[in-house]
Structure 1
Amino acid sequence: MHSTLNVAWTGRSGDARTSRARSLLQAATRASALLGLSCLLLLGAGAPASAQQTAAADADPEFNTLFHESLKRPADVALAYRLAARATQLGDYEAAIGVYERILFYNPKVVRVRLELGRLYYRLGAYESARAYLQPIDGDGMLSPAEQANVTAYLEEVERRLSTNQWSVYAQAGVRYQSNANYGPSSRIVIGDDVAALLPPSYASKADGNVFGLATVRHVYDFGNQRGDVWETNLNLYYSQQFDIQRLNLGFVEANTGPRFALAPDALPGSSVRPYVLAGGISLGGASYLGSYGAGVSVYLPFSPYFSIEPFVEARQRDYQNSVDYPTAGFQSGGMWTVGAGLFGRITEGVGWRARIAYNDADASVSWYAYENFNADLALPVEFQGLWGVKRWVVIPSVGYSYYGYDAANPFVSRFIPRTDDQYRVGLALDVPIHEQFGLLTQVQYTWASSSLPNYSFDNLSVSIGPNVRF
């Protein structure tokens, strides 16, 4: 039977706090990636829109039946509406546009057809064509108040996207509760110096809440050439203030900037390559904790409305700083390589999917802080008609997995057992629009981890709510 020792943790408190901080930082890193993913879902300003549409409708029996019937009855407007709606559901916007324009040929005064054409051209990224259909019906008395508001919102967005300088902003403020805010181990029986130890209460898991604010800002400068080349800059900001555990107050800032060049504008419209540089920093407990800088390159390939991929490779230098709360943080300094990909697509008209996979290889000043890491996250945004508002509500279920394998055993914990972690997470978010630009976002996420060392097994329930804004 293992003996249980009530150890005096002061001799290794710096290393223990650094381990807890690293667990927190890993969670923050994953959160920042998920934050970026969620913001892209809510902003609709992720990878560039693709002008290439597949003829997926050709394989759909219902579409084929409606298509052949419409050839026999070209003046049947009701049938044409059904055909266009089916093409839109299948993601074949070009087919839908062809049908709606045929309706206009027979009846050029149908205002709602012009509205649908404006929407479809907007989804294709053909903003000038969208404006050509929407401007003449702005203020038309045949539209309902909700439809008129929709036209106005589209026109404002079109003008913004046609500008040489294009800005997108998503921001949220709110409150969050966590059942294990410090990512303390599931059990107070841990390992120290290769023997069982009783973790002091100050290091055990502890619930806490915080107030937080976050923002994602995106700027695109359009060079105005025929290829569609732009300069793209992204800025991510986050800060949380704990109610109780002040050493966990977390600040995060990171920016990347670089050109996005059209890759194959004729063979694969919308494809691009983007080299970029990046820099960022993290504060923890009110003190500087991490500074990083580096560079990367990504390639965006929009194969169809159902599947696009943006692989990337990135290298960065990470410089950790010691502080009163984290006196051994500096030992984590070193370079890190990342290889990964963002994946995007749509399942149906109202259901999309977004995923991110990444592999990290991180060096450190001491071998037991160096690690390799694999992350995978998947989100399925589902739009539906809510209880109020002109915009559809969005519910986003998500799942994720992370693996951490450290290069060597930590002698302060165990000289014989290197640390390996398997972390899992499931989440659910609900974005409720209150206005065209304002909403209320509620998120619930449960995270749990198993580890080769009991010190790092934990679980945590996080619940947050707060207003958001996007423009």
Structure 2
Amino acid sequence: MVPEVRNVAQALCRPRKVARRPAPRWACLAATLALVAALAGMAPQAAAQRAQAPDPVAQADPADRARYDSAFKAMIADPANLDKTFAYAKAAIEVADYEGAIAALERMLFINPDLPRVRLELGALYFRLGSYEAARSYLTTALQAPDVPADVRSRVDAFLAEIDERLSQHRFSGSVYAGLRFQSNATSAPGGTGVRALGFDATLDQEYTSKADTNLFVVGNAKHNYLLQSLAGASIESTALLYYARQHKERRVDLNVLELTSGPRLPLDVPGLFDDGSLYGYAIGTYVELGGDRYYSGLGGGMELRALPAEWTNIRLTAESRAKQYHSNSVRPRNDQQTGFTSSVSLRLRQGLTENLVVNGLLAAARNETDFDYNDYTEYAVGIGLDYLFQPGFITDLVAGELPKDLPWATSVSVSRVLTGYGGPDPTVDPGTTRQDHDWRLSAITAVPISQSWTGILSLGRTQRTSSLPNYQYTNTSVSLGASWRF
């Protein structure tokens, strides 16, 4: 069919387009927090004009396009035949001509208003176009029809619940991950007894060498977005992280962490670089307990840039500054000497190679400053990893009916190298040697979907540190098994 003829004929019964929803440490910290506050009052820059989207019908598969043209001819030849009109609407949906499908379905309702399935399909189409109020109107009236089929009522209820969530200014999401972990060196202590003390060789008590142990761990993440109606796509984003680990034997390394962040997230387009990104400025509050005692508390701020410059490419650039207050106790009498200021920057890249394979890259650097040069350090990290999605048919066949076959399994492997250099020698350890640590960190994780919300997770990890001082040299291998629940 000639495109111009098709467009003119459809325009006779097509509705109007629907509107869519549319320096010194403390000085550096103060500047970071001021930048976060300033970001909250910013208005996003006007986006560059987008090129007009191409005709979806012209880009459709030739066979689908042929069925679409044939269904359109049949509808035009017999406009009173609802079956032919509905067939055309289905063909239009297959080629992504949603407005053409809407026009056809609305004409069906004009002929016969008592068609709840047609109202359902119209609601679904308007939902797909982002016209949620129009979608709600059709879906609500679909339920008012007498003798609504059960499957129609179920789909309508699901759509209405999703519309309520999308139109709300409040968005909640999160996850809880819990399990058991075994570590060959839970205390991150040296494997041997030979250490340095006051510049001399010394023997470490066996109590303080590496110890294997198991622990119970729980990780909770929650995120809340408050959508700013005055700025399309902008929100106030707040997160909470809770980590709890209780050792079976080595209770001195029980760990509790609470970290909160909050700040504005604004949409960001940079013509010529990317047209889908965001800028997030946030304040950070952290509280950490180790072995049941206060370890440190911190306050700071950060900036995060997220960008999707190309298909299957995701970039995240983060910069943070934190002031940390460490607390001494009878077990760690010199812990307060670590009080200071930490600045860090990291660049993370996710690049899809295929639909099932993603490569991850990491570059990071951090600088820690205290009043004691032997606690100052500069750290550099580089890492690479692979994520692979797959369907292990031989396993799902063995446990048929127990695991979902439509959700892929995921395996991730990664390796990173971390180099840490300290600012000067610690006289209580060795006044002639400055500490230098070199780490290898490896991990392998497999996630098995149990349902849409539940996932089983098996994790393996290994850290190997070499150091210029034997006091800080260690190796640790870990295995954990747990489950994650998303909400």
Q: Cα distance, 1:186 vs. partner?
A: 3.3
- Structure-to-structure mapping, 1:223-262, within 5 angstroms: 223-225=228-230, 227-262=232-267
Aligned partners of 2:64 and 2:95 also within 8 Å: no
Q: Which has the larger radius of gyration?
A: 2
- Structure-to-structure mapping, 1:344-363, within 5 angstroms: 344-363=350-369
Cα distance, 1:69–1:356 mapped onto 2, change above 3 Å: closer
Count the aligned residue pairs. 378
1: CA distance between counterparts of 2:282 and 2:151?
A: 48
Q: Which of 414, 418, 427 is residue 402 of structure 1 equivalent to?
A: 418
Q: Cα distance, 1:252 vs. partner?
A: 0.6
Q: 2:96 is matched with which residue? A: 101
Indicate yes or no: 2:444 matched with 1:428: yes
Aligned partners of 1:177 and 1:462 also within 8 Å: yes
1: CA distance between counterparts of 2:157 and 2:458?
A: 28
Gaps of 5+ in 1: 1-50, 53-66, 78-96
- Deviations 1:56-96, CA, capped at 9 Å, x for gaps: xxxxxxxxxxx99955984279xxxxxxxxxxxxxxxxxxx
Task: Please state whether the residue corresponding to 2:451 is helix, strand or coil.
Answer: coil
Cα distance, 1:68–1:160 mapped onto 2, change above 3 Å: closer
The code of the aligned residue for 1:415 comes to P
Q: Cα distance, 1:98 vs. partner?
A: 9.7
Aligned partners of 1:70 and 1:76 also within 8 Å: no
Q: 1:416 is matched with which residue? A: 432
The code of the aligned residue for 1:101 comes to A
Aligned partners of 1:227 and 1:265 also within 8 Å: no
Indicate yes or no: 2:294 matched with 1:288: yes
Task: Please state whether the residue corresponding to 1:228 is helix, strand or coil.
Answer: coil
Question: Which has the larger displacement, 313-322 or 293-302?
Answer: 293-302
Cα distance, 1:104–1:443 mapped onto 2, change above 3 Å: farther
Aligned partners of 1:127 and 1:162 also within 8 Å: no
Q: Which of 369, 373, 393 is residue 367 of structure 1 equivalent to?
A: 373
Indicate yes or no: 2:437 matched with 1:446: no
Q: Cα distance, 1:346 vs. partner?
A: 2.2
Q: Cα distance, 1:195 vs. partner?
A: 2.4
Q: 1:62 is matched with which residue? A: none
Aligned partners of 2:350 and 2:359 also within 8 Å: yes
1: CA distance between counterparts of 2:295 and 2:346?
A: 25
The code of the aligned residue for 1:444 comes to L
Cα distance, 1:352–1:140 mapped onto 2, change above 3 Å: farther
Gaps of 5+ in 2: 1-46, 49-57, 69-91, 106-116, 397-402
Q: Cα distance, 1:333 vs. partner?
A: 0.4
Indicate yes or no: 2:337 matched with 1:331: yes
Q: Cα distance, 1:185 vs. partner?
A: 1.3
- Structure-to-structure mapping, 1:118-267, within 5 angstroms: 160-225=165-230, 227-264=232-269
Q: Cα distance, 1:345 vs. partner?
A: 3.5
The code of the aligned residue for 1:238 comes to Y
2: CA distance between counterparts of 1:451 and 1:154?
A: 58
Identity in percent: 25
Aligned partners of 1:127 and 1:161 also within 8 Å: no
- Deviations 1:289-316, CA, capped at 9 Å, x for gaps: 1000011222222202322222222211
Task: Please state whether the residue corresponding to 1:75 is helix, strand or coil.
Answer: helix
2: CA distance between counterparts of 1:340 and 1:99?
A: 43
Aligned partners of 1:153 and 1:436 also within 8 Å: no
Q: 1:467 is matched with which residue? A: 483
2: CA distance between counterparts of 1:182 and 1:157?
A: 47
Q: Which has the higher contact order (CA 8 A, sep 6+)?
A: 1
2: CA distance between counterparts of 1:341 and 1:126?
A: 33
2: CA distance between counterparts of 1:214 and 1:127?
A: 37
Over the aligned positions, Cα root-mean-square deviation in angstroms equals: 4.0
Aligned partners of 1:191 and 1:453 also within 8 Å: yes
- Deviations 1:384-419, CA, capped at 9 Å, x for gaps: 224221422222222222211100011111111111
Task: Please state whether the residue corresponding to 2:371 is helix, strand or coil.
Answer: coil
- Deviations 1:365-387, CA, capped at 9 Å, x for gaps: 21101111123344433222242
Task: Please state whether the residue corresponding to 1:262 is helix, strand or coil.
Answer: strand
Task: Please state whether the residue corresponding to 2:336 is helix, strand or coil.
Answer: helix
1: CA distance between counterparts of 2:350 and 2:131?
A: 21
- Structure-to-structure mapping, 1:298-337, within 5 angstroms: 298-337=304-343
Q: Cα distance, 1:336 vs. partner?
A: 1.1
Task: Please state whether the residue corresponding to 1:227 is helix, strand or coil.
Answer: coil
TM-score scaled to structure 2, two decimals? 0.67
Q: 1:458 is matched with which residue? A: 474
Question: Which has the larger displacement, 253-262 or 352-361?
Answer: 352-361
Aligned partners of 1:273 and 1:298 also within 8 Å: yes
1: CA distance between counterparts of 2:97 and 2:131?
A: 21
Task: Please state whether the residue corresponding to 1:279 is helix, strand or coil.
Answer: strand
Task: Please state whether the residue corresponding to 2:439 is helix, strand or coil.
Answer: strand
Q: Cα distance, 1:206 vs. partner?
A: 0.7
2: CA distance between counterparts of 1:262 and 1:210?
A: 41
2: CA distance between counterparts of 1:153 and 1:429?
A: 33
Task: Please state whether the residue corresponding to 1:331 is helix, strand or coil.
Answer: helix
Cα distance, 1:166–1:359 mapped onto 2, change above 3 Å: same
2: CA distance between counterparts of 1:157 and 1:373?
A: 45
The code of the aligned residue for 2:426 comes to N
Cα distance, 1:321–1:127 mapped onto 2, change above 3 Å: farther
Task: Please state whether the residue corresponding to 1:380 is helix, strand or coil.
Answer: strand
Q: 1:393 is matched with which residue? A: 409
